[in-house]
Amino acid sequence: MNRNFKKYTRHSFLGLALLLFSTSCDDFLEETDQSNFTQDTYFTQPKHAESIVNAIYADLRSTTGGGFNGAPWMMLEFATGLANTDLGQAQNSINIRNLVNNSDNSYGGTYWTSSYKGIANANLAIKNIPSITMDESQKKRLLGEARFLRAYYYYNLVRIFGPIPLITEPVDLNSEALYPSRAPEQEVYNLIVEDLTVAESAGLPVTDKSGKATTGAVKSLLSSVYLTMAGYPLQKGTEYYQKAAAKAQEVISSNAYSLFASYNDLHNEATENTGEHIFMVQFAPFLISSNWQTSIIPYNKGISAYSDETGAIYANTDFVQTYEPNDKRTREKEFYYTEYTLSSDRNSSINLGGHFIYKHFDPKAQLETTNSGLNWMLMRYAEVLLIYAEAANEAAGPTAEAYEAVNLIRRRAELPELQGLSKELFREAIWREKWHELSYENKTWFDMVRLRKAFNVKTKTFDDYVGHQFSYGPVLKDRELLFPLPTAEVRNNKNLGQNTGY
């Protein structure tokens, strides 16, 4: 890890392409004048504090994207066994899907380097902002944002790679942490909880239309962290299920969020950072475009204004068929689409031969502009409701409140309400709801690993993770509980080692 981390931390002073994340999404691409930056003069003004915190957000975009080589976000979908691709040259995707992944996979490398770059900028902010003379409430807010983002990056890293280097101070060429060893997962989670607890009391707004970190986002992430800590690998059990339920309940009781009435609002620029959306990766059309649109349309079917149609990822049909009969989410152009009009003749439609992902689809970009500003969903209210239901059931069995949390989602899907289930049956009903509601949002694989369970599309029940056979053949092994550390990081830092089986 040392070379990449050294590069990012060293250049955080002199080479930051700092993005100004003002109250308008359209302003966040403006760059500061870097010509006079030095280590001695940079962290001296309030605008410097704002700019370094803004820089931490930038790396949230690194794992999104698309194109003919696939994209890092797809790593977490192909690992579930529930996604397919028609992109023969995207070897990274194919290796993961076939469970023959290795440490040369650039998807994992992107998660590693972009996360540690975000952490490096967060460490700079946390170290230097306290000494800047500025409004104290603004200072506290900025430090809260930095803590939240550092926690978010570490939360992804520890779940994807297991024990990882835990770096909390800026690193330079003389730092002892230049060649770090890996910290136990418990220590990483301790820092994540500490950071989120500090962020929770930082005076952040409950919601923020600009897309910056909020108290709602902090509490939502903390509920997810507690839920994961209750399960594998830490197995902290009932106490942490109670913590997860309590934190999710705080988000619910705030009345700051609600489910969208229409699934179309999940991918509508007009509703971004409001309503159901708790935290998103920010994009803006013609300024910094989101670029996964060519990946979620079928290979060369001629339906899009984009010249590239890659078919890089789509849903396995046998998974879509596990939804209950009449589930609104499986109707055409709700969560998935199976047909579309031709770009050469919008009065003619074509069957696409599969279930493509509509919840990330930007109709305006696909039909007209070929330039999407659609934000990427990181946390939404439906997930918080499901976290609450699962955690409450694990802590105390089915309750009226847990049922209502799930049934809010089911009513929107026009499904019968759940009732009268045992703790065990309610548990699996919640899991199925999570698999179906949060599909292809980079949530399912994380649930599989913390539960050590995988969804069997034939039986519609849950198998043990290790030994579960994907519907198209490959069988999960112990090694697939983690991804491999990138080859370059292990080669350059002999203190890291490699995850078992890679």
CATH numbers and ranges of domains, the chain:
1-70+86-204+465-502 (1.25.40.390), 292-371 (no CATH)
pLDDT tier, 137 (very low <50, low <70, confident <90, very high otherwise): very high
3-class secondary-structure state, position 354? strand
- What sections of 75-135 are H helices per DSSP? 75-78, 91-97, 106-128
Helix (H) or strand (E) segment spanning residue 443: none
**The predicted structure's pLDDT at residue 417:** 98
Beta strands in 267-375 (DSSP E): 277-281, 314-315, 336-342, 345-357
Neighbours of 351 (CB within 10 A): 10
pLDDT tier, 40 (very low <50, low <70, confident <90, very high otherwise): low
pLDDT surpasses 90 at 9? no
**Euclidean distance between CA atoms 37 and 124, whole angstroms:** 15
**Euclidean distance between CA atoms 301 and 342, whole angstroms:** 8
Note whether 177 and 491 are within 8 A (CB).
Answer: no
**The predicted structure's pLDDT at residue 20:** 32
Strand partners, 462: 455
Residue with tokens 């003919």: 68
Helix (H) or strand (E) segment spanning residue 69: none
Tokens of 279: 């935290």
DSSP string, 249-284: HHHHHTT-----SSGGGGG-GGGTTSTTEEEEE--B
| DSSP letter assigned to residue 328 | G
The strand pair at 336-342 and 345-357 is best described as antiparallel
Choice among 20-24, 37-41, 439-443 with the minimum mean pLDDT:
20-24
Could you tell me the strand order of the sheet in which 83-84 lies? 83-84, 314-315, 345-357, 336-342
pLDDT surpasses 90 at 172? no
| DSSP letter assigned to residue 441 | S
Angle formed by the axes of helices 400-412 and 423-437, nearest 10°: 30
Look at the alpha carbons of 152, 156, 157, 163 in this order and tell me if their dihedral is positive or negative.
positive
Quote the percentage of the chain above a pLDDT of 90. 89
Beta strands in 12-146 (DSSP E): 83-84
**The predicted structure's pLDDT at residue 12:** 33
Note whether 81 and 467 are within 8 A (CB).
Answer: no
Note whether 198 and 147 are within 8 A (CB).
Answer: yes
Q: What angle do CA 214, 247, 252 make, to 5 degrees?
A: 75
**The predicted structure's pLDDT at residue 174:** 79
Strand partners, 31: 19
pLDDT digit string, tens, across residues 419-471:
999 999 999 999 999 999 999 999 999 999 999 999 999 999 999 999 999 99
Cα 146 off chain centre by = 17
Tokens of 221: 């992430």
Q: What angle do CA 449, 455, 461 make, to 5 degrees?
A: 125
| DSSP letter assigned to residue 124 | H
Best CA proximity match to 336, nearest among 348, 319, 349: 319
**The predicted structure's pLDDT at residue 6:** 32
Q: What would the mean pLDDT of 90-102 be, rounded to a whole number?
A: 98
Q: What would the mean pLDDT of 10-24 be, rounded to a whole number?
A: 33
pLDDT digit string, tens, across residues 364-421:
999 999 999 999 999 999 999 999 999 999 999 999 999 999 999 999 999 999 999 9
pLDDT surpasses 90 at 72? yes
Q: What are the φ and ψ backbone dihedral angles of 22, each rounded to 5 degrees?
A: -80, -175
Q: What would the mean pLDDT of 193-201 be, rounded to a whole number?
A: 98
Tokens of 205: 């707004």
The strand pair at 461-464 and 453-456 is best described as antiparallel
**Euclidean distance between CA atoms 492 and 240, whole angstroms:** 37
Note whether 410 and 416 are within 8 A (CB).
Answer: yes
Residue with tokens 């990081």: 489
pLDDT surpasses 60 at 200? yes
Quote the percentage of the chain above a pLDDT of 70. 92
Evaluate the omega torsion of the peptide bond into residue 233 and state whether it is cis, within 30 degrees of 0.
yes
**The predicted structure's pLDDT at residue 391:** 99
Tokens of 138: 């603004």
pLDDT surpasses 80 at 107? yes
The strand pair at 314-315 and 83-84 is best described as antiparallel
**The predicted structure's pLDDT at residue 14:** 29
**HSE-CB for 460 with a 13 A CA cutoff:** 12
pLDDT tier, 175 (very low <50, low <70, confident <90, very high otherwise): confident
Q: What would the mean pLDDT of 333-358 be, rounded to a whole number?
A: 97
Averaged confidence pLDDT in the chain? 92
**The predicted structure's pLDDT at residue 38:** 56
